[in-house]
Structure 1
Amino acid sequence: MTQKIGFVGLGAMGLPMATDLLAAGYHLMVYNRTASKAEPLIAKGAHRADRAGDVAHPGGIVVSMLADDASVKALVTGEDALAERIAPDGIHVSMSTVSPATTRELAAYHAMRGSVMVAAPVFGRPIQAQAKQLRVCVSGPADAKAKVRPIIDAMGQEVFDFGDNPGAANVVKLAGNFMIAAALEAMGEAVAMMRKSGVDPAAALEMLAKTIFAAPVYQGYGPIIAHGVFTPAGFRLPLGLKDIELVLQTAGAAHAPMPTASLLRDRFISAIARGRSDLDWSAIALGAADDAGLKESR
């Protein structure tokens, strides 16, 4: 396999994802704002670009894994001009968690310049990315999705197609992140109640995660919350706040009330105000302990 791919964004998720592509035999041209983060990939044969736009070539494929809407917009429409650089017929695979409105806007921008955008946000933490166990939601033009499918398969274990609407995969991603955050809050409240009642929350959540809540979210986050160990952060609190704010924006545009999302937003803001920005986003569970007058268990 000799296909050349551009990859922009080598953070906690992007680095292992790009590593998976190298392992699958793809040739990578990579860019990250902090250049040193590319070193592990360079050592394995990737090439480093001096600017994000330099990873692109006409008719090529570029994968981006960036932090927020502004970063993706800047890549596509700013000085890096990705939409123009990959035209004609190049494909931008946007794997970032951004708003569906941003994806629709950028997909239209790509189309006007002769290129294509496929939305492909992922579910999973860095450890799943390292193990090629991500679950990927995709939406966009069918022929483009088919062309990039082998690339996406090289980074994940399952792909779920949500049709031609460019923003559909982002709606699903935001819905999933909202449901995860709601589970974190529920576990935090339950742990606070159990601690104040003299019950071992670790034992209780272990039992519940094996029985009526036998799902990865409870099995993965239950021990973290029960033991109060929120470092190292797989997904930091400010990123959680960003996603919940995107959920509320999307819900507002759809006239769909989400009162639980409003509560979660306040939890994230409170946690950040308390100096917890460097903790994993599951640390919103500490809000229930704060309300109950409990000291942090970590």
Structure 2
Amino acid sequence: MDKQVQKPDHREYTIKIIPHQGETVRSIRLPIRMIKYGIVSITVGIVLFIGAFGYSTYSLHLAGSEQAEITELRQVNSIQQSQILQLAKKASTLQDDIDKLNQMEAEIRRISSINDGTDSNPGAGGTHDGQGGPLIQPNIQNLSDTLDAIEKNIAIRKQSLEDLKEKISVQQEVIAVTPSIWPATGDVSSPYGLRWGGTDFHPGIDIANDAGTPIVATADGIVTAAGWNSGGYGNMVDIDHGNGLMTRYGHAQRVVVTTGQQVKRGQVIAYMGSTGFSTGPHVHYEVRVNGKPVNPSSYL
């Protein structure tokens, strides 16, 4: 069967242009093929225009969104940087407080004569103040490292202060039971040792004042004697401070404690008088170590 051959379309369309006022009529002959090509071209142009317009609109919208996002990111970054700077200032203040705490601890150790063999803050409190180094803006990483170091330093200081507190507590307990204050106010009328031209050994010191002047315990302890002593001390008080330490207070006018009573350093135990072997109102004060009298001046 023979295929039919399609014949070319030779149709034409005529467009007449009729002007006003009797001018010449113009005719334009357009082949059907040209009209088809024109319609296709116009259609393609419209499609391309619409596509180009849509792409431009999308691009503008996308650019606007990106710009808004960039602006927002800049704002967020600015806020974060501001927060980082504020946190860095707080961290710096905290570090300064730790340095002051270190100096305070060192001063407490110096005053209390407690030293753990290490310097908690070497070089602190000096007169030199030279500083230097590169200028680096605080950021998340170096701020995090600084805070970690501060946290570790706080833990070390906390443990160090706990140890210091325990040592001071022990020291205070030792001080409390060590005769270290004057038993009464007044004048030393007779020192420890030989007196009266070497004819008498004085096992304590005499502190003279008006009768009725308070006499106090020079350390914590337990009263082992309270009352009259026939060996020349008159009204007398003995206090046992433990560790072989004992103090004696003689020639009192009146004793206000009893045997077995627990007393504290500075507590009134008697009132000054002139009982026993005495030439006038005073307190005879002794410090004994394992029963042997020692010079009380070394404890005052």
TM-score category by the smaller chain?
Answer: under 0.3
Give the structure with the higher percent strand: 2
Give the structure with the higher percent helix: 1
Larger Rg, first or second structure (1 or 2): 2
